[in-house]
Amino acid sequence: MADNPRPDLDFPEAGEPAAAPPATTPKKKGVKRRIFLVGSALVVGGGMFGVWWSDKAAGKHANALIAGEGEHAFMTWMKIAEDDAVTVYSPHIDFGQGSHTALGQMLADELDADWGKVRVEQAPADTAFANTALAKGFLPTMVGEFAAGLLPDAVIGMMARGMPLMITGGSSAVRFTGEVAMRKTGAAVRAALVAEAAERLGVPAGELTTAGSVVTHTKSGRSLRYGELAAGAAARSLDRDPPLKTRDQWKLIGQPVVRGDIPAKVDGSAVYGIDFTLPEMRVATVAAAPVRGGKLVSVDEGPALAVKGVEKVVKLEDAVIVVAKGYWQAKKGLDALAPKFSDGGHATMSTPAIYAAQGTLMGGGKPDNEGGAGDVEAAFGAAGAKIVEAEYRVPFLHHAMMEPFAMTGHYKDGTLHLWGGMQDPLATRAKAAKAAGIDVGKVVFTPMIMGGGFGRRFPDYCEIVDQIAVLAKQLPYPVKLIWSREEDVTHGAYRPQSSARLKASLADGRITGFRMDYAQSADAESEVPFIYDLPATTRRHFAYQSNQTDGYWRSVNATQIGFYVESFMDELAAAAGEEPYRFRRKHLAPGSRHIAVLDEVVKRSNYDSPLPDGVGRGIAIVECFGTIVAEVIEATLKEDGSPKVLKAFAVVDCGTTVNPLNAEAQIMGGLVMGLSSATAEQVTLDKGAVVERNFGDYPILKAADAPPVVDVHFIESGAKTGGIGEPGLPPAPPALANALAAATGKRVRTLPILAQAKA
Q: What is the pLDDT of residues 394-411, one digit of tens each?
A: 999 999 999 999 999 999
Q: CB–CB of 26/34 below 8 Å?
A: yes
Q: Output the CA torsion sign for 527, 532, 535, 537.
A: negative
User: 174 and 55, same structural domain?
Assistant: yes
Any idea of the CA torsion for 104, 108, 113, 117, to the nearest 10 degrees?
0
Q: Read off the pLDDT band of 53 (50, 70, 90).
A: low
Across 133-146, average pLDDT:
80
pLDDT given for residue 463 in this prediction: 97
Q: CB–CB of 465/422 below 8 Å?
A: yes
Say which range, 14-18, 369-373, 506-510, has the weakest mean pLDDT: 14-18
Residue 6 has pLDDT above 80, yes or no: no
Number of domains in the chain: 3
Q: Which residue has the higher pLDDT, 16 or 181?
A: 181
pLDDT given for residue 143 in this prediction: 67
- Tell me, yes or no, whether 500 lies in a domain: yes
**Cα angle at 631 between 452 and 106, to 5 degrees?**
55
User: 456 and 366, same structural domain?
Assistant: no
- Tell me, yes or no, whether 520 lies in a domain: yes
Across 245-261, average pLDDT:
96
Q: Long-range contacts of range 150-153, CB-CB < 8 Å, 24 or more positions apart?
A: 151/39, 151/42, 151/43, 153/55, 153/240
Q: Output the CA torsion sign for 556, 559, 564, 569.
A: positive
User: 683 and 537, same structural domain?
Assistant: yes
- Tell me, yes or no, whether 140 lies in a domain: yes
Residue 616 has pLDDT above 80, yes or no: yes
Residue 51 has pLDDT above 80, yes or no: no
User: 380 and 519, same structural domain?
Assistant: yes
pLDDT given for residue 388 in this prediction: 98
Across 539-564, average pLDDT:
96
**Cβ contacts of 660 within 8 Å, gap of 6 or more:** 254, 255, 256, 714
User: 211 and 149, same structural domain?
Assistant: yes
- Tell me, yes or no, whether 266 lies in a domain: no
Calculate what percentage of the chain has a pLDDT beyond 70: 92
Q: Read off the pLDDT band of 150 (50, 70, 90).
A: confident
User: 390 and 250, same structural domain?
Assistant: no
Residue 33 has pLDDT above 90, yes or no: no
Q: Could you give the 3-state DSSP secondary structure of residue 649?
A: strand
Q: Which of 447, 482, 517 is the last residue of a domain?
A: 482
Give phi and psi for 543, each to the nearest 5.
-70, 125
CATH, residue 100: 3.30.365.10
Alpha helices in 113-177 (DSSP H): 132-143, 145-150, 153-162
- Over residues 706-736, the pLDDT tens digits come to 999 999 999 999 999 999 999 999 999 999 9
Q: Which of 454, 482, 510 is the last residue of a domain?
A: 482
Q: Given 3-state DSSP classes, what are the helix, strand and coil percentages for the chain, each rounded to the nearest 5?
A: 35, 20, 40
- Over residues 299-326, the pLDDT tens digits come to 999 999 999 999 999 999 999 999 999 9
Across 551-571, average pLDDT:
97
Residue range(s) defining the domain that contains residue 287: 282-344+405-482
Residue 43 has pLDDT above 50, yes or no: no
pLDDT given for residue 497 in this prediction: 98
CA distance 736 to 611: 15
pLDDT given for residue 236 in this prediction: 97
- Tell me, yes or no, whether 289 lies in a domain: yes
Across 487-491, average pLDDT:
98
Q: Which of 240, 255, 270 is the last residue of a domain?
A: 255
pTM: 0.92
User: 460 and 587, same structural domain?
Assistant: no
Across 4-29, average pLDDT:
32
pLDDT given for residue 157 in this prediction: 85
User: 409 and 392, same structural domain?
Assistant: no
Across 143-163, average pLDDT:
79
pLDDT given for residue 160 in this prediction: 84
- Tell me, yes or no, whether 271 lies in a domain: no
Any idea of the CA torsion for 402, 407, 408, 412, to the nearest 10 degrees?
170
User: 532 and 444, same structural domain?
Assistant: no
User: 221 and 178, same structural domain?
Assistant: yes
- Tell me, yes or no, whether 372 lies in a domain: yes
Say which range, 32-46, 49-63, 247-261, 346-360, has the weakest mean pLDDT: 32-46
User: 233 and 178, same structural domain?
Assistant: yes
pLDDT given for residue 757 in this prediction: 78
- Tell me, yes or no, whether 235 lies in a domain: yes
Q: Using H for helix, E for strand and C for coil, what is the string for 709-723? A: EEEEEECCCCCCCCC
Residue 5 has pLDDT above 80, yes or no: no
Residue 698 has pLDDT above 80, yes or no: yes
User: 416 and 372, same structural domain?
Assistant: no
